[in-house]
Structure 1
Amino acid sequence: MILNINNHKVHVQLSGNPTEMPPVVVVTGTGSWSYEWELVQEELSKHTQVLTYDRPGYGWSDASADGFSIDETIMDLKAILDETNIDEPVILVGHSQGGIYTRLFADKYPDRVAGLILVDTRNEFFSKEVPDFTEKFFATQSQAMNKLLSKIGVVRLVGENILPESLPEFISREKHVNVHWDSDFFTVLDQEINQILTSEEMVAKTKPLGDKPVTIITPDTNHSSATSFGFSAEEEAEINNHWRDAQQQLTNLSTNSEFVLIPDSSHAVMYDQPEAIVESVIRMGKGLELVSP
């Protein structure tokens, strides 16, 4: 469905039926869209309502006339819940940068959140622990060339060939390029990347979550690809250790936290081990059923 949210059109996919488990809402990472979560949504919708959506400029959603905004991202999520009549507290599943948005939302609207599933999320710890890597990483993330290539049609011509081989079979390369990779996408992607460090500063100021359930999911393998930025294999290993340490620190967000290491997975856990996400959500949802009035 397409909703009119804060003066822009947002694509929302709502499936499943209300049950005793809380509804589940997926907040995707930077540059990601709802289509990538089809396997997770399909399985979870057998147990409860599941909502995925595309942030403005991604997937089937129009870009906001005002460009990407962290505050608007949080406002949009609340408006989506209101428009879809999801009034009860939800389990928020945040992947990568989406984990920061879920935490900011939970801080602003604590009564709307039953629990958090943080899937290999960015946080306020990692960037500060590895400043050299952080600087080199963000120096390579400009989308200026991709924006130009998309405007003159080159991305649509060759896009399917430059997508990573690791894309799962259920992802249509044609759909990914023609729907997701348009000129708005690269503009918004650039804007969002430029505000990631700001969002990390914001989330560092959020309040503790008390005993609200939080599950942190992260791969047990190294995946920073730091060697591609000029770091040695030894330095890459150390950087990956810092990433995992930062994930471990997220257990301090709540007195009711769980830390789950996933084998044989890249950062894209929803591709490589979707069942691990599904199992964690159901486990949390069943626990919340037990304490419901």
Structure 2
Amino acid sequence: MRVFCIALLVTACLSPSVSLAQAPPKMSAGSPELLDKHLIDIGGGRKLNMVCMGKGAPTLVFEQALGGTILDWQHIQVELSKTNRTCFYDRAGYGQSPASDQPRTPRNVTDDLHALLRKAGERRPVVLIGHSIGGRYAPYYYERFPADVAGMVLVDPGFYGQDDLGLSAADQTFFDGLRTKVYAKWSNCAAKARSHEITLEATQGCFAAKLPYYTRDEAARMLPVFQRPERWETIASEYGHIDEDKGPRKTWGDLPLAVLTRTEFPPTPRASEAFNQSVEAVLKRGHAALAARSSRGENITVPNSNHYMQANQPGPVLAAIRKVVAEASAGASR
């Protein structure tokens, strides 16, 4: 079980997604354009959905969490789009992007983004903002395509080694059981989707219709995505392949970098105190190590924040992004 999912196990890593735009929806915070469908041909007969708004360099590109959505960013999108071009995309199998027949390895995911930015004609280098598993894909992308990246903001990111919790035998057995349960959850939701059993009235535990950060209108728009079997299959594939990323292999020089760490660590139900303490300690050490890879790296603890801090504490996230953007812009002008 990946640590970036532990805080979300109660909902089996569920998060909201989007579907085809109809009448302009009532939005919690973001622009209605976030729900638009804009498929871009990336070659090989494949397309990915990406919505870009605003003007101003550098362009900001957002990587969502495991099972995440474009709407995860809506509480910071409007402000950022006032000053910079902002691009939000659905990885293959997510949101409005068709699924891929290739396993969702970090290499395949980052190959897709590399092709997408080129086919879309987006100006590079960009600032990458990655949340959770997206905070693993962003550094992986940077190490493969360093000329494409002017800076990074990693929002409560995952990292290689986060499963090394130093658990007792009993706690490790419990941990392994969590992994089994979450895979079973995704498999069940894929089956329910194939049999058309997921609705707003009967969610089958596969669609969180009552979400803290989204309107009922948005929830109705999200539903069709949760009804796609390939969504659940994609989540399982990403999760199963993530440790093919063995972690950063290079120092990152003076790359503008911010690593944001939450302060709220809800206890995992039925876990021991030692288990919960280990999860928190390993996460904090891992984030500090990521920030230390750049001479300009900063590990920022965001007060009163949870894993989705871009929604529950958008101010500090905005501030961190703006600082990295300013540093990247200053570097580009030298």
TM-score between the two structures when normalised by the length of structure 1: 0.89
- Return the match for 1:135 from 167, 176, 186: 176
2:26 corresponds to: none
1:244/1:137 Cα in 2 relative to 1: closer, same or farther (>3 Å)? farther
Indicate the residue corresponding to 1:11 in structure 2.
Answer: 49
Q: In structure 1, what is the Cα distance between the partners aligned to 2:254 and 2:204? A: 45
SS at match of 2:258: strand
Match of 2:195 in 1: 152
- Helix, strand or coil for the counterpart of 2:48? strand
Per the alignment, residue 134 of structure 2 pairs with 98
SS for the counterpart of 1:284 is helix
Work out the percentage of aligned pairs sharing the same amino acid: 21
Contact 1:99 1:119 in 2 (8 A): yes
Match runs of 1:188-227 below 5 Å: 188-199=234-245, 201=246, 203-204=247-248, 206-223=249-266, 225-226=267-268
Q: CA deviation at 1:4?
A: 1.3
1:2 to 28, 39, 43: 39
- 3-state DSSP of counterpart to 1:193: helix
| Counterpart in the other structure of 1:244 | 284
Give, in angstroms, the shift of residue 67 of structure 1. Answer: 4.3
Matches within 5 A, 1:1-293: 1-6=38-43, 7-19=45-57, 22-130=58-166, 132=172, 135-142=176-183, 143-156=186-199, 157-159=201-203, 163=208, 165-170=210-215, 172-199=218-245, 201=246, 203-204=247-248, 206-223=249-266, 225-226=267-268, 228=269, 230-293=270-333
Aligned residue for 2:88, secondary structure, equals strand
Separation of aligned partners in 2, 1:243 and 1:283: 23
The answer for unaligned runs of 5 or more in structure 2 is: 1-37
Per the TM alignment, residue 234 of structure 1 is displaced from its structure 2 partner at its CA by 4.4
Residues in 2 aligned to 1:283 and 1:74: alpha-carbon distance in whole angstroms: 25
Distance 1:128 1:121 in 2: 16
Cα deviation for residue 287 of structure 1 reads: 2.2
Runs of 4 or more off by more than 4 Å in structure 1? none
Q: Quick check: 1:160–1:173 contact (8 Å CA) kept in 2?
A: no
Query: RMSD of aligned C-alpha atoms?
Result: 2.1
Counterpart secondary structure, 1:66: coil
Compared with structure 1, are the counterparts of its residues 66 and 125 closer, same or farther at alpha carbon in structure 2 (3 Å cutoff)?
Answer: closer
Classify 1:218/1:70 alpha carbon distance in 2 versus 1 (closer, same or farther; 3 Å): same
Cα deviation for residue 45 of structure 1 reads 0.7
Is the CA contact 2:59–2:123 (under 8 Å) kept in the aligned structure 1? no
Q: 1:79-137 deviations in whole A, cap 9, x for unaligned?
A: 11112222321110010011111111100110110111011111023212346275344
CA contact (8 A) 1:98 1:121 kept: yes
TM-score (norm: length of structure 2) = 0.79
- Note the C-alpha offset of 1:196: 2.2
Q: Tell me the CA shift for residue 34 of structure 1.
A: 1.2
In terms of mean alpha carbon deviation, does 49-58 or 63-72 score higher? 63-72
Contact 1:8 1:56 in 2 (8 A): no
Decide whether aligned partners of structure 1 residues 9 and 267 sit closer, same or farther in structure 2, where only a CA change above 3 A counts. Answer: same
C-alpha distance in 2, partners of 1:245/1:291? 29
Aligned with 1:126: secondary structure?
coil
Aligned partners of 1:130 and 1:239 also within 8 Å: no
* Distance verdict in 2 for CA 1:259–1:164, change over 3 Å: farther
Call closer, same or farther: CA 1:238–1:72 in 2, change over 3 Å: closer
Determine the C-alpha separation between the residues in 1 that align with 2:187 and 2:202.
17
Question: Contact 2:105–2:242 at 8 Å: present in 1 too?
Answer: no
Count of residues in Structure 1 that have an aligned counterpart in Structure 2: 285
C-alpha separation in 1, matches of 2:53 and 2:166? 40
Deviation at 1:139, TM superposition (A): 2.4
| 1:197–1:138 distance in 2 versus 1, CA, 3 Å | farther
Q: Distance in 2 between matches of 1:238 and 1:45?
A: 38
Once the two structures are superposed, residues 146-167 of structure 1 have per-residue CA deviations (whole angstroms, 9 ceiling, x without a partner) of 1111111222252297517553
Give CA deviations for 1:185-242 in whole Å, capped at 9, x if unaligned. 011111111112333x2x24x211111111000111214x42x2x3223431332222
Structure 1 residue ranges without an equivalent (≥5): none
Aligned to 2:233, what secondary structure does the other structure show? helix
How far apart are residue 270 of structure 1 and its match? 2.1
Write the distance in 2 (CA, Å) between the matches of 1:59 and 1:108. 26
Distance 2:126 2:227 in 1: 30
